[in-house]
């Protein structure tokens, strides 16, 4: 069974940093591209970033380019999202997702990031 478990969310002040993790199990992690998707409170879904199966390629939405970094450790079956220079508008639940025949075929339960002073 595919399992994705996010962690690392919480309350952070504007301008500070936070690193999210996503522990994967139930599949061969290094065979799949992975992604982060966010959802602001009571809002819709927004793609954040994608990383290729081997980490060689990364893609970001414009609003996070230069501030967020997606990475992975295939030996640990773990996906990361380093978020720097956080803004109030980054407040959201962040989901990791496994990419497959559809970009977001399997999702984790999400971790809430609140950016506030």
Partner 1 sequence: DIQMTQSPASLSASLGETVTIECRASEDIYNGLAWYQQKPGKSPQLLIYNANSLHTGVPSRFSGSGSGTQYSLKINSLQSEDVASYFCQQYYDYPPYTFGAGTKLELK
| Residue 63 CB contacts under 8 Å (≥ 6 apart), including other chains | 89
CA 15 to chain centre: 19
47, 55, 71, 82: residue in contact with partner 1 (rule CB under 8 A): 47
Smallest gap from Cβ 63 to partner 1, in A, equals 10
Residues 55-94: x where in contact with partner 1 by CB under 8 A, - otherwise, as a string: ----xxxx--------------------------------
Cβ-based nearer residue to partner 1, 13 or 40? 40
32 binds partner 1 (CB under 8 A): no
Tokens of 58: 């990364």
Percent helix / strand / coil, the chain, rounded to 5: 10, 50, 45
12, 36, 50, 86: residue in contact with partner 1 (rule CB under 8 A): 50
End-to-end CA separation in angstroms for the chain: 40
Strand partners, 78: 23, 73
Which chain residues interact with partner 1 by CB under 8 A?
37, 44-47, 50, 59-62, 95, 101-110
């Amino acid at each position: 069974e595919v399992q994705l478990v996010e962690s690392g969310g919480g309350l952070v002040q504007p301008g500070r940093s936070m690193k999210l993790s996503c522990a994967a199990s139930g599949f061969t992690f290094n065979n799949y591209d992975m992604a982060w998707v966010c959802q602001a409170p009571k809002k819709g879904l927004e793609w954040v970033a994608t990383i290729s199966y081997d980490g060689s390629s990364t893609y970001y939405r414009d609003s996070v380019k230069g501030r967020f970094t997606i990475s992975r450790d295939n030996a640990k079956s773990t996906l990361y999202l380093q978020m720097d220079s956080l803004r109030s508008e980054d407040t959201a639940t962040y989901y990791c997702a496994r990419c497959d025949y559809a970009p977001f075929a399997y999702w984790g339960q999400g971790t809430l990031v609140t950016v506030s002073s």
